[in-house]
Amino acid sequence: MTVKAAEVENVEFEILMASPLLRELLIGDPPLMVTANREHHLKVRFAVARMTALEELQLKDGAVFLARGDGLYPGTALPNAEVVELNHDQFLRERVMVLHGTTLAIHDVIDYVANVAGGVHFGAVAAKERRALVEAVDQQVRLGGLQATLHALLAIGRVTVDALDPLVRHIDAP
């Protein structure tokens, strides 16, 4: 199957436009998910697949680049992947990419895509070293036909939708 460039651009744009929503839901001040849950008091848990033993070994051996991509979301991770449930803060700290020894957590990816890559702002101020590193990877690495950060954001979005589904159903209940 051949994927046309325009189709990839449309998918990338849709993922890019999800970044402001994820930013407001998960890292706003206060996060929208916290505000929405204030009167419902549900225990929101984010199910993620843990890094594989091979990924951990690669990091110990000094891998230059590692991206979890589909391996983060249990529905697309390897069949034998260990799935753990994280609270909101743990989820935001979960690493999704390692670049030259610099770890990028979920919070970092959402922040970068929303505030630097154009989801909300384009080229907003960010730590120069980290920004240059992420931009270089996005220019040189494609995962599933997508820029590395957008590929990560897709998995982050899937995990978030699953985690917030019980809250949405609770809010919508008569």
Residues 112-132 pLDDT 10s: 887 775 545 444 545 555 566
Q: How many structural domains does the chain have?
A: 1
Q: Is residue 13 part of a domain?
A: yes
> 68 CB contacts (<8 Å, ≥6 apart)?
51, 55, 95, 96, 97, 152, 155
**Full-model pTM:** 0.84
Is residue 172 assigned to a domain?
A: no
145 in any annotated domain: yes
Distance CA 20, CA 161 (A): 14
91 inside domain: yes
Q: Residue 123's pLDDT is what?
A: 47
Percent of the chain with pLDDT strictly greater than 70: 79
Report if residue 26 sits inside a domain.
Answer: yes
pLDDT tens digit sequence for 44-87 = 999 999 998 888 888 888 888 888 988 999 999 998 899 999 99
Q: Is 83 contained in some domain?
A: yes
Domain that holds residue 100: 5-167
Asked if residue 173 is part of any domain, the answer here is no
